[in-house]
Chains A and B, each alone.
Chain A
């Protein structure tokens, strides 16, 4: 398939791995964070980390939308789902994210009308098909999915669909990166920038990383050769003493992003003063809520919710995994009490979560290495 097969060529992959090996300085340890969960998934699926020298360590970042949802927000969604007459619509992964007393799937089993949708547009269609019901869409995701929610809300307003509303959990990518860079727990040498978020925001918003923190960023695609090339580009910057934002994913990511998407987001959303991120705590101006012009579609204003902050289970170490402080397999419950089928933590739910990605692919390589 065009744009796919040529980025999975094993021979080219080995050649790139050789170039990476030739670029690193012996005696120096490199920590490179892949920000996006999609990269984490690809790294484990294709064994990208197996091709890297021992002194190049990949650290998994917070860019998995399901993984960063705190338990209190799940509880709020479940409370709305249980209200009479509500059809609660969300993406499939979200149904398996644990709140303090179960998941949305558990709520469905208890009688709540929870339905999986593939897009906000599907949820709006549900509202039009069920005019006597309240349809609530549980919106999650970074700047990749936020434009979709924004366009759907614009459509709902234009078409006058009064029984449609949205719980807005959209988050933005820059504030958590700044929080990670400020964290004393972690010292990173460079970042693999999120490819698809950058189709919307462009590469420019990452300029603060080299400018303020002196770390290179390479926006990258999701095929194995994309990731290897991005790592090589970061290592070359470090070797040459350069520090800038580069775009490896030019075939998809325009430097300026998508201005129409940014415009519609600014019309429909506004920044929340604070938002809680699982594992990262409260981060200022890191999430979106509906603007006053769209307040009529805000489910948090239409329904009462507990709105309570809920601490993560003590056994769960998703916070440390999300900050890259520990590897998935170093969590006490990884692969035993916590599996994709029975997840305790969010990182085990989504295929983009570091724990699920490692559980599905990486553990086999590690088991082989141990044998």
Chain B
């Protein structure tokens, strides 16, 4: 049986589109694997690639498609 198509996104960001930038806070860093556990503002957590930024717990990152592109506090 066919699944229903993913609903069109109407919220602040689209959970199904990897091209959406999401601000996340670093909870824990696994330096040996270049990964971090990160948390969105509403509390959902996911694993994020941090190979492109210097990240430490507490930092806020802009994440696209599971990869941190910039450390937000550092950019200004």
Contact = CB atoms under 8 A, between A and B. Distances in A.
Interface string A102-116: 000110110000001
Interface residues of A, number: 54
Interface string B63-74: 011110110100
Contact of B6 (A116, A141, A145, A253): A116
Contacts of B16: 91-93, 116, 118
A222 B75 CA distance: 16
B76 to A, nearest CB: 5
Interface string A154-178: 0100000000000000000000000
A350 B20 CA distance: 11
Nearest to B20: A38
Interface size class of B (residues with CB under 8 A): 35 or more
Contact of B18 (A145, A155, A250): A145
Interface in B1-49: 1-3, 5-6, 8-10, 14-21, 23, 34, 41, 46-47, 49
Contact of A151 (B21, B23, B52): B52
B57 interface: no
Contact of A120 (B2, B15, B65, B72): B65
A196 B62 CA distance: 9
Contacts of A118: 15-16, 18, 46, 65-66
Interface in A81-136: 91-93, 95-96, 105-106, 108-109, 116, 118-122
Interface of B: 1-3, 5-6, 8-10, 14-21, 23, 34, 41, 46-47, 49, 51-53, 62, 64-67, 69-70, 72, 75-76
